[in-house]
Amino acid sequence: GAVVTADVAAGSVRVDDVDAVVIPGGYAPDKMRLRHAMVDLVRDCMSAGKPVAAICHGPSVLINANVLKGKTLTCWP
């Protein structure tokens, strides 16, 4: 698989710095959801109405951010 290196730590990014968030699939979300800064960034982007995409295991970050109440998601059964 591809190796991706972050350009900046989630704690250094603010909602106004991004246009959207894409949470990747695989095992990355399992680590991302344990980082308060990442969960806070996702929560802030959702609150600001910015697009947030979550692939495969990515919705686990959305669950940790507590932003899914009243939302409809698509998924594989």
Residues serving a catalytic function are: 57
- The CA distance from 67 to 77, in Å, is 21
Decide if 18 contacts 45 (C-beta within 8 A).
Answer: yes
- The CA distance from 61 to 43, in Å, is 9
